[in-house]
Amino acid sequence: MSVVTIERKVLEKNDEIARKNRELFARHGVFVCNVVSSPGAGKTSILERALEHLAGRLKVAVIEGDVQTDLDAQRVARYHVPAVQIVTAGGCHLEANLVRDALASLDLSQISLLIIENVGNLVCPSNYDLGEELKIVVASTTEGDDKPLKYPAMFRNASVLIINKIDLLPYIPCDITKLRANALQINPSLQVFETSCTTGSGIPAFCDWLVSRCSTLAGR
């Protein structure tokens, strides 16, 4: 029982810091997305394509979360946006205090969109609020169409689903209609985008949605 109590306290403490992060984001009018997926589903690649597409349209900053290495922050920094790498050193998810600490390196008054790329893990990050406006879950076609049923919490807690690697559909046994239906069965209110970082397909629609959400926030 003591472990359960401590786990609850950890989550309560996290939620308290997340609330403060959220207040800070609201004060600066920053739209914040927490991007989650399995390892290798294409979070960083989608981000790279989106940064290309959003250049000159939105002021974007990125927080990268990884178990080890700053490879992702290096990839993102090529697009001339502020990028902060959090290395969890074995930790399986980002927590609100890590994001709070990373914010010290960003000037929020110069940012309209902050993308937080979580650790590649389809289980643990679903429990941890970082103070984001919403979670975006990326599911790649190569992972198979059953993943929403097998890892439901992540799909339940997300607002947006990006189905990535659609260019590989001809070569793999993934039924995208089933993948979409399985996700919507878990969470009927998911907004779904279909993308390929190889062909660029679907990236403009996703970016238009980001721009529109940032405008809505600015108009509040």
Task: List contacts with a second copy (CB under 8 A).
Answer: 2-3, 6, 10, 38-41, 66-69, 71-72, 90, 92, 119-124, 140, 142-144, 146-147, 149-153, 165, 167-168, 171-173, 198
Single-letter code of the amino acid located at 144: G
Considering the complex, what minimum distance in angstroms separates the CB of residue 161 from a second copy? 15
Rg of the chain, C-alpha, whole Å? 17
CB nearer to a second copy: pick between 134 and 172: 172
Residue 134 three-state SS: strand
Considering the complex, what minimum distance in angstroms separates the CB of residue 137 from a second copy? 12
Yes or no: say if 197 and 45 are a contact pair by the CB < 8 Å rule. Answer: yes
Across the strands, what pairs with 63? 84, 116
Distances (CA, A) of 196 to 85, 139, 156, 173: 25, 12, 23, 17
DSSP label of 58: -
φ/ψ of 85, rounded to 5, equals -100, 125
CB nearer to a second copy: pick between 58 and 163: 163
CB nearer to a second copy: pick between 53 and 165: 165
- Sign of the CA dihedral with 148 first, then 164, 120, and 217 last: negative
Distances (CA, A) of 26 to 112, 113, 217: 11, 12, 9
CB nearer to a second copy: pick between 24 and 92: 92
Considering the complex, what minimum distance in angstroms separates the CB of residue 57 from a second copy? 26
Considering the complex, what minimum distance in angstroms separates the CB of residue 42 from a second copy? 9
CB nearer to a second copy: pick between 131 and 148: 148
Considering the complex, what minimum distance in angstroms separates the CB of residue 60 from a second copy? 22
